Amino acid sequence: MAGERTRERGELEAEVMRILWEHGEPMSVREVQAVFSGRVPAYTTLMTALERLQKKGQVVRSGESPRKVRFAAARSGDEHVSLSMMSALEGAGDREAALLKFAGNLAADDVELLRRAIAPARTRKRR
C-alpha cells in the first residue's frame, strides 16, 4: 500500500549514518544503496534522507554535478554519541539527577572507564 511506513521513525537515517561511519569516505547515493542491509530504499528516498541529514549538520555534501554528488558523515560516530549525550544533559531539568541516574545504570567496567578518563583532568587542574 502506498504511503505505508516500512521502518520505524529515524531508522532510515540511523542506517545511513551507520553506513557512512563504517566506510569513512564520501559515498554516492548509489554506493550507500548498494551496501544497505535489509529492505533497500529507493534512490530518491535515500537522496531525501541524505539531504535532511545535511540540513541537520550530520552529513557533508560534496560535488556540484548530480552524478558526482557524494556524502560523508560530518563527524565520527563517537563524536556524534558524545554530542547527543551532552545535548540530552543540557536539556535535563535537573542536571545532577540526570547524571546520577545515568551513572547508576552503567556497568562496572563503564564506571571504571569513566574514572580513568576523569582522573587526568583532575590532576591537570591541581597543577
The number of distinct structural domains making up the chain is 2
Task: Give residue 1's pLDDT.
Answer: 46
Please say which residue of 58, 73, 88 terminates a domain.
73
CATH of the domain at 26: 1.10.10.10
Range 95-111 average pLDDT: 89
Task: Give residue 42's pLDDT.
Answer: 93
Task: Give residue 103's pLDDT.
Answer: 86
> Side chain identity at 4, as an amino acid letter?
E
Q: Is residue 2 a part of any domain in this protein?
A: no
Residues 26 and 68 occupy one common structural domain: yes
Confidence of residue 37 (pLDDT cuts 50, 70, 90): confident
Q: Is residue 1 a part of any domain in this protein?
A: no
pTM over 0.75: no
Residues 69 and 81 occupy one common structural domain: no
Residue 41 half-sphere exposure toward CB, CA atoms < 13 A: 20
Residue 78 pLDDT > 80, yes or no? yes
Residues 64 and 83 occupy one common structural domain: no
Q: Is residue 109 a part of any domain in this protein?
A: yes
Range 18-37 average pLDDT: 93
Q: Is residue 42 a part of any domain in this protein?
A: yes
Which range marks the domain in which residue 102 is found? 77-126
Range 99-109 average pLDDT: 89
Residues 118 and 83 occupy one common structural domain: yes
Concatenated DSSP letters of the chain: -TT---S-TTHHHHHHHHHHHHH-S-B-HHHHHHT--SSPPPHHHHHHHHHHHHHTTSEEEE-SSGGG-EEEESS-HHHHHHHHHHHHHHT-SSHHHHHHHHHHTS-HHHHHHHHHHHHHHHHHHH-
Please say which residue of 31, 52, 73 terminates a domain.
73
Residues 69 and 90 occupy one common structural domain: no
What percentage of residues in the chain have a pLDDT greater than 90? Answer: 42
